[in-house]
Amino acid sequence: MTIDDRSAIGVIGAGRVGSALAHALLAVGRPLDAVASRTRAHADALASELPFVASAEIDELVASSDIVFLAVPDDAIEKAAHSIVWRPTQAVVHLSGGRGLDALAAVAEAGGIVGGLHPLQTFPGDETAAAARARFQGIVCGIEAPAPLDAVLANIVEELGGRSFRLEGVDRAAYHAAAVFVSNDVVAVMAAAARAWALAGLPVDEARGALSALLTASAAAIAGRPLTEVLTGPVARGDVETVRRHLAALESEPELMALYRGLGAELLRLDLGHDAHAAAALWELLDGPGA
């Protein structure tokens, strides 16, 4: 079997990422033949949205697909790799950011070709087919795979509207932690902001709507400009007294105050051009005793 751009594709996993990938592959004309899931009803529901794509049992999909995308949770990758009977020279690609190819060791032992493709994107689910396909437009995807699978994956990413980079030799846990900071932890920051909003005496159910425009504007600016130019606010200005007042306002919520200090200290690691007195005062407030 030769793995190339004409190879038949199957997707195991009908969750958020698997569904979005299936929609996107079909939209660009890739030979997506079947989808499968541990729960057949989930696969049936996804296949019903994909013209000319079959819903299959996992073993049926493996038997008919040359490239299998394994769109399952990180903790389920090794179990799936061990429990499924793979065909020699078949390509199996997981979509995890935090796991390397060792998670697919059972596939390699069976003679398969293993790879990883990690889209640096969030997949919220409950989207239209068009919105799911658009999730891949303009994003970056990490790839780890031997030839010729690596070239096929890079071509797929390009066709989906993204660009790729290589993950060989990368500390996958640190790489994935970087992605968590700007995806999952942004949600944590919004939750903390909502708590501070309520602490100010404002209706907590209005916090997300009121603050989202700030978050969106910051993200858009970060994409196109240096961080030191994007940063605004009291730390950027060296406004020591404002930071002091913020900390005083958060004293009744120690966890919020600790988070404010930790994030503020990270901002001070940027080259903000403060004079020595302002820099020292900010470090004392944000990273000093009691921080």
Q: Give the pLDDT of residue 58.
A: 97
Q: Give the pLDDT of residue 132.
A: 84
Q: Taking Cα atoms as reference points, which of 2, 103, 11 lies closest to residue 56?
A: 11
Write down which residue in 170, 204, 228 finishes a domain: 170
* 175 within some domain: no
Q: Give the pLDDT of residue 129.
A: 81
Pairing outcome for strands 67-70 and 91-94: parallel
Q: Taking Cα atoms as reference points, which of 65, 7, 5 lies closest to residue 34?
A: 65
| 57 φ/ψ angles, rounded to the nearest 5 degrees | -70, 155
C-alpha distance across the termini of the chain, in Å: 60
Q: Are residues 99 and 152 in the same domain?
A: yes
Average confidence (pLDDT) over 282-289: 87
Residue 58 near residue 84 (C-beta atoms within 8 A): yes
User: Whole domain around residue 81: which residue ranges?
Assistant: 9-170
* 59 within some domain: yes
How far apart CA 258 and CA 250 sit, in angstroms, is 9
Q: Which two tokens stand for residue 51?
A: 């013209």
Q: Taking Cα atoms as reference points, which of 27, 38, 28, 32 lies closest to residue 11?
A: 32
Torsion of CA 274, 257, 213, 207, to 10 degrees: -160
Write down which residue in 143, 170, 197 finishes a domain: 170
Q: Per-residue pLDDT for 84 more than 70? A: yes
| 92 φ/ψ angles, rounded to the nearest 5 degrees | -125, 125
* 110 within some domain: yes
Write down which residue in 170, 190, 217 finishes a domain: 170
Tens of pLDDT, residue by residue over 214-266, are: 999 999 999 989 999 999 999 999 999 999 999 999 999 999 999 999 999 99
* 107 within some domain: yes
How far apart CA 270 and CA 76 sit, in angstroms, is 39
Q: Are residues 132 and 227 in the same domain?
A: no
Helical ranges in 92-171 per DSSP H:
105-109, 129-134, 149-159
How far apart CA 98 and CA 171 sit, in angstroms, is 9
> Which of the four pLDDT bands, split at 50, 70 and 90, describes residue 290?
low
Q: Are residues 80 and 38 in the same domain?
A: yes
Tens of pLDDT, residue by residue over 97-141, are: 999 999 999 999 999 999 999 999 999 877 788 888 889 999 999
Residue 11 near residue 35 (C-beta atoms within 8 A): yes
| CA 238 distance to own-chain centroid | 33
* 176 within some domain: no
Q: Give the pLDDT of residue 46.
A: 95
Looking at the DSSP bridge assignments, the partners of residue 144 are 116
Q: Give the pLDDT of residue 147.
A: 95
* 3 within some domain: no
User: Of all helices (H) and strands (E), which one includes residue 143?
Assistant: strand 140-144
Q: Are residues 132 and 236 in the same domain?
A: no
- We report the CATH number of the domain holding residue 142 as 3.40.50.720
Q: Are residues 29 and 114 in the same domain?
A: yes
Average confidence (pLDDT) over 2-13: 95
Tens of pLDDT, residue by residue over 179-211, are: 999 999 999 999 999 999 999 999 999 999 999
Tens of pLDDT, residue by residue over 140-182, are: 999 999 999 999 999 999 999 999 999 999 999 999 999 999 9
By the 10 Å C-beta count (0-12 exposed, 13-18 middle, 19+ buried), 180 is classed as middle
Q: Are residues 129 and 16 in the same domain?
A: yes
Q: Are residues 232 and 281 in the same domain?
A: yes
Q: Are residues 189 and 272 in the same domain?
A: yes
Q: Are residues 195 and 149 in the same domain?
A: no
* 217 within some domain: yes
Q: What are the percentages of helix, strand and coil residues in the chain, rounded to 5?
A: 55, 10, 35
Model's pTM, two decimal places?
0.89
Query: For the chain, how many structural domains are there in total?
Result: 2
How far apart CA 229 and CA 225 sit, in angstroms, is 7
Q: Are residues 196 and 69 in the same domain?
A: no
Q: Taking Cα atoms as reference points, which of 193, 285, 276 lies closest to residue 240?
A: 285
| CA 3 distance to own-chain centroid | 27
Q: Are residues 155 and 185 in the same domain?
A: no
* 2 within some domain: no
